Amino acid sequence: MSCSILRAGLLTTIQDGGRRGYRQAGVIVSGPMDALALRVANLLVGNRPGAAGLEITLLGPTIRFEADHLLALTGANLSATLDGEPLPLNRPVAVRRGCELAFGPARSGCRAYLALSGGLAVPAVLGSQSTYLRAGIGGFQGRALRAGDVVPAAGLTLAGQRLHRQLLAHRPGRSWAAATWFPAPPLTPPLSATPLIRAVRGPEYGLFSEESQRAFWEAAFTVTPSSDRMGYRLAGPELPRLAGPEILSTAVTFGTVQVPAAGGPIVLLADHQTTGGYPRIAQVITADFSQLAQVPPGGRLRFQEISLSQAHYWYLCQEKIIQHFQRGLALFHHL
């Protein structure tokens, strides 16, 4: 089973749950920018949450399915269509062999995630199928997908085959059929034009002047075109720090907000380095990673300070909703 890439799109890569356990050797985690969206897509087609899928950025590819598939598309609304008809997000969709998936303009967000029942059949590198572009490892030959590529798929699971038949039985003779149900409440947050990203104070917050601290929480920042999967470079007020010695390189993670000497903050993302030497003014909370990852170049965002206990609360709320949905889907897929 396979999918043919007829048109490459801007940046389409294979990502799974990430390359974990090697940071001490300088190997980054990588994985999806919006891990929540990929997780939901996998759950909808009966995969494990971290199975490999496609991360599609802003301008999507055109894909022809060379076999019957059960798929789900989550994350950004990139005006997806199947054989010219609008494709609904956040639900299982059965497609017949020869069906073509295409994308139009981005209506909200900037990254969509495509999961196929059974997952993708590309080799794992250091335990992960995620593409790390800078090192040229993982995914499909360590690079973004190009026109002419044929991406191997593992094939539908038994539960996927059953759901595929059930969905297409309601649209006989058509090339695809979507489930009429979708998650309620929504599992991924609504995408805002200027999202409010919640964060806690970073370890070096006290190295910044009161004026810089106030500007960080009150001002709007713009994601610059020089941003990538490693991090967002933000344009806005400069955040000078108090005079003092440089700090030693220390641990950083997804959502760490660093401030170089020039004063422009950088928010680290999926392909972030393992350590950093810039002061960490804040740390975005896990529950807002999805919102953060969906801000496009040129988009704006604001930061809101919350406490560590509030960050734990919102993370647990998000996990409770996802796990409840996961248990329900597990029963559904095994009926």
297-333: per-residue pLDDT in tens?
Answer: 999 999 999 999 999 999 999 999 888 888 777 666 6
* Mean pLDDT rounded to a whole number for the chain: 92
Confidence of residue 236 (pLDDT cuts 50, 70, 90): very high
How confident is the model at residue 206, as a pLDDT? Answer: 94
Comparing CA positions, the residue from 272, 8, 269, 22 lying closest to residue 125 is 22
Q: At what angle do helices 35-44 and 308-333 cross, to 10 degrees?
A: 20
The β-bridge relationship of strands 196-201 and 300-305 is parallel
- Find all residues with CB under 8 Å of 330, minimum gap 6, and list them: none
Q: In what order do the strands lie in the sheet with 150-152?
A: 85-86, 81-82, 100-102, 62-65, 2-7, 150-152
**Predicted pLDDT of residue 290:** 95
Q: Is pLDDT of 39 > 90?
A: yes
* Contact criterion met (CB below 8 Å) for 199 and 283: yes
CA 323/CA 49 separation, integer angstroms: 11
pLDDT at 231 over 90: yes
pTM as predicted: 0.94
Question: Is the per-residue pLDDT at 169 higher than 80?
Answer: yes
Share of the chain above pLDDT 70, in %: 97
Backbone CA torsion sign across 54, 176, 327, 121: negative
Supply the DSSP symbol for 289: H
Residue 277 is predicted with a pLDDT of 87
